[in-house]
Structure 1
Amino acid sequence: MDIKVLTENYFLESLKLSEYAFQYKIVEERIPARRDMLKKHKILGILEQEKLAAKLHIIPLAVNMNGEEWKMGGIAGVATYPEYRRSGYVRSLMIEALRQMLADGQIVSLLHPFDFSFYRKYGWEILSEYKKVSLEKKDLALLPISPGRIIRYSKEDFPQDINHIYQMYCNQFNGMLVRSFDWWKDQVIDDNSQIAVYYNQANEAKGYILYHVKDRKMDVEEMVCLNQEARVGLWNFICQHDSMVEKVFLTLPIHDPFPYFIQQPKVSMELQPYFMARIVDVEECLRKFEFNSETEPVFLHLEDTFAPWNNGSYLIGHDQLKVFKEKNGSQCVQPPKRGIHLSINDLSAIIFGYKRPLELYQMGYLKGSEEEVQKLERMVPHIKSSFYDFF
């Protein structure tokens, strides 16, 4: 089986495979723009008699981790024609994608799964959850008025203020996408988007919402606030639409305090897991990650079936990392048996902040003594994961 990095000659075939697999149609006039977009991707393909049979896209992006930007490979567009399914093509593409991301210095990888169990077996784990809040007109009750003001914008005139708010918000979480100006323009804000920004009395932008109003429904796709004042100010702005809408839908990270602070918090909420994440390069990840170093060091014994370069033992703590891996079939130094045995899924969930070490230990995922797990629990900062985007 020959896997190739596809050149521009195959871009049209790649688009046709996406149309077939994901059941949509690209209008003719948008094809040149879509082909230009593919120039930013690394597309892996498997050919059968010079025709594209299966493919996978790696999008070079970055995520915020402990206040730093980490290179991230976004997996997207994984597709196979039905006559080639169950031939191991996707498995081969996933393994090759991991090798390519390692070579390109992409420490972590994110994807939006069609099936969580399918990608879990390749080492990706749940990154984040969101809550979809459904509100009736009767729920739109104003709170005490915030002292600031709201300014509305559209795609044509959206300000840099919202990117500044977003960046400040990202520092509270792990896994948030680093957005370029082009990403905002091409992927986040569409032609029908409305943007409302809350400014405090010092004229500082402290929160925004992205939303649509149509057919007497308001759909708030992002609500990003840096403090409670902005949160209340934007909520009151939403309430001011009570003469225009019958329903309001809010898409929020699971950690958002809404609806605790509104007058009637008994509203309909639907919780769903969203994106998945995976560590591609464990050694570089553990070297860069800022652990709390006041506790004693602990050994992590890691198993990673599909990225074998990660297999080994890692001693973390006291601002240092020692690595014990097999070289040429034999282990250079035998690490002690004490420590924590875990999978790449477990470590990914811990590093991104989706699950705590003690949670995973209590569910039976981490193997080792509770004393060792308590050390790791104290070592890992209390930063939760979150993700808003789609690719």
Structure 2
Amino acid sequence: MHIRRLAAEDRLTTSFPLQAYAFEASPMTAVRTDEFRAYLPYNAGNTTLVVEEDGVTTAAASAIPMRQNLRGAVLPMAGVAGVATHPLARRRGHVRTLMHRLLDGMRDEGHQLSALYPFRASFYERFGYVGLPRRRTAVFAPADLAPLLRAELPDELVWERIGAGYPRWRDYTDRCLRERHGFAVFPDFRAVGLRERDDRWLVSVVRGGETVGAVTYRIDDHAGTLIADDLLFDDAYARASLLQFFARHVDQVRRISVELVPGELPELWLTDVEVHTEARVHRPDSAAPMARLLSLEALADQPVGVGRVLVELVGDRWLAGRHLLDGTTGKLAVLPVDGAAEGRLPCARLTAAGLSALAYGVLDPVEVAVRGLGEVPVEAATELRRLFPRELPYLFADF
């Protein structure tokens, strides 16, 4: 078995066909094979590793150099994607070997976080990943938004093809990255695919010259569905402006489908709105995202509540040892454990997934223990809760 990092052109005959077999209709047509070359620019900065045996590519995995907001800090994040194995080489440990090598390299390059969409969540939990909320899909009739047509709102709407409006969209999502916990964006070489495909409309909400909301969408047919991507907005006025725009399609489409951030409640938008909201998580085609810390440096200087606790990190390749998490100054310090702290401060024993769950705000310390991701005594749970209060992350990027 030989592990090799691919050069750009190598992907055409190695990782791309293997990933297509794993995630697309198969066998591929000749036309599909020809389309691979068009994807090369959007993979230019990725790190792609493959396993080769007797000249045959038997497994592949890629990491996208992304950025993600962790409780207000924008940090380098490795987005793991395209994990695929030859059907005759499965269950032989190739993915485990590639994941170790891939994350070793990304961590060495300074990536402090990692995220992915798993084929099986329990598999990646063993690599220290923990589940994040999946975006919700809301479906409703545009007629139910009719009351908004009478609303006087303070904003201006800008409507354009995404190819023309891409700079505005990119600037706004970059601002969301700085302001929203869990939010992640692609690097420029990958993100520009949205502009170059130009297969979406963009409607932006502008107030005082600043974008305060935006959504991309397409319409599948007359009397069909307006299919909107993530509904992004700063406040209730901006959200109402976007929904008012949807309401104007009452004589054009039967229904509207829109992606929502976790925690958004469309049943409260208006009186008498009939809406179906779901977050479908199903293996293998509809996974909730997962994420993990790759380095304790990701926690340094995070704004936290006043708390002090010892943590022992176990069972992980990248996070290990005993550490003091000290928030007495209002900013988190990750310190070596000294003799004075031993026996005087509460101590929790955590897996990497357990610590990641606390850092991302998806689990309470008690839930970490119940899930088997650590041992958390009552006193330690109290301190960890002060340091890492619950906060719903929203990944945004889909890869």
Q: Deviations over 1:309-365 (max 9, x none)?
A: 41211101134322359xxxxxx9995494112211111121112223344356665
* Aligned equivalents of 1:9, 1:249: Cα separation in 2: 38
What is aligned with 1:210? Answer: 216
Contact (CA 8 Å) 1:208, 1:225: kept in 2 or not? yes
CA apart distance, 1:154: 0.8
Q: Distance in 1 between matches of 2:23 and 2:267?
A: 35
Distance 1:373 1:192 in 2: 48
* TM-fit CA distance, 1:149: 2.2
Let me know the Cα RMSD of the aligned residues: 2.7
Partner of 2:284: none
**Residue identity (%):** 23
Conserved? CA contact 1:155–1:185, under 8 Å:
no
Give the AA of the match of 1:302.
L
Report the TM-score, using the length of structure 1 for normalisation: 0.88
Structure 1: where are the runs of 5+ without partners? Answer: 326-331
C-alpha contact 1:172 1:383 (8 A) present in aligned 2: no
Report the CA distance shift for 1:288/1:58 in structure 2 as closer, same or farther (over 3 A).
farther
Q: Does 1:142 align with 2:143?
A: no
Q: Determine if contact 2:300/2:334 at 8 Å carries over to the other structure.
A: yes
Are the aligned partners of 2:130 and 2:290 in contact in 1 as well (CA < 8 Å)? yes
Q: Distance in 2 between matches of 1:236 and 1:334?
A: 58
Give the superposition deviation at 1:172: 4.3
Specify the alignment match of 1:371 in structure 2: 379
Distance in 2 (alpha carbons) for counterparts of 1:231 and 1:87:
49
Q: Is residue 344 of structure 1 aligned with residue 352 of structure 2?
A: yes
Q: Which residue of 1 aligns with 2:39?
A: 34
SS at match of 2:398: coil
Separation in structure 2 between the aligned mates of residue 334 and residue 247 of structure 1, nearest angstrom: 60
Which residue of the partner structure matches residue 20 of structure 1?
Answer: 21
Q: CA offset at residue 117 of structure 1?
A: 1.9
Q: Please tell me whether the aligned partners of residues 148 and 198 of structure 1 are also in contact (alpha carbons under 8 angstroms).
A: yes
Q: Please say if residues 145 and 233 of structure 1, whose CA atoms lie closer than 8 Å, have aligned partners that are also in contact.
A: no
Q: Bigger CA drift: 34-43 or 229-238?
A: 34-43
AA paired with 1:269?
Answer: T
Partner in structure 2 of residue 276 of structure 1: 290
In 2, Cα distance between equivalents of 1:166 and 1:9: 31
Alpha carbons of 1:83 and 1:179: their partners in 2 closer, same or farther (altered >3 Å)?
A: closer
Which residue is 1:285 aligned to?
A: 298
Q: Where does residue 125 of structure 2 map in the other structure?
A: 120
Letter in 2 for 1:210: T
- Distance (Å, rounded) in 2 between the aligned partners of 1:188 and 1:364: 44
Q: Is the contact made by 2:76 and 2:113 (CA closer than 8 Å) also made in structure 1?
A: yes
Aligned twin of 2:368: 360
Runs of 4+ in 1 over 6 A off after TM superposition: none
SS in 2 for 1:206: strand
Residue in structure 2 matched with residue 304 of structure 1 by the alignment? 315
CA change 1:159–1:33 in 2 (3 A) is: closer
Distance 1:188 1:226, change over 3 A: farther
**Gaps in structure 2 of 5+ consecutive residues:** 282-287
Once the two structures are TM-superposed, the CA of residue 16 in structure 1 deviates from its matched residue by: 1.7
Give the whole-Å Cα distance in 1 for the aligned partners of 2:374 and 2:280: 25
**C-alpha distance in 1 between matches for 2:301 and 2:194:** 29
Instruction: Report the equivalent of 1:158.
Output: 165
Residue type of the alignment partner of 1:300: V
Q: Pick from 78, 86, 89: which aligns with 1:84?
A: 89
Q: Compute the TM-score of the two structures, normalised by the length of structure 2.
A: 0.86
Residue 66 (str. 1) matches residue 71 (str. 2): yes
Aligned residue for 1:328? none
Answer yes or no: is the 8 Å Cα contact 1:253–1:386 preserved in 2.
yes
Cα 1:57–1:50 shift into 2, 3 Å = same
- 1:16 alignment partner AA: P
Return the letter of the residue paired with 2:336: V
Contact 1:64–1:178 (CA under 8 A) maintained in structure 2? no
Q: Deviations over 1:236-262 (max 9, x none)?
A: 111110010001111111122433122
Amino acid paired to 1:316:
L
Deviates more, 1:120-129 or 1:256-265: 256-265
Could you tell me how far apart the structure 1 residues matched to 2:393 and 2:242 are? 24
Amino acid at match of 1:147: P
1:202-281 to structure 2, matched below 5 A, reads 202-215=208-221, 216-272=224-280, 274-281=288-295
1:387: how far off? 1.4
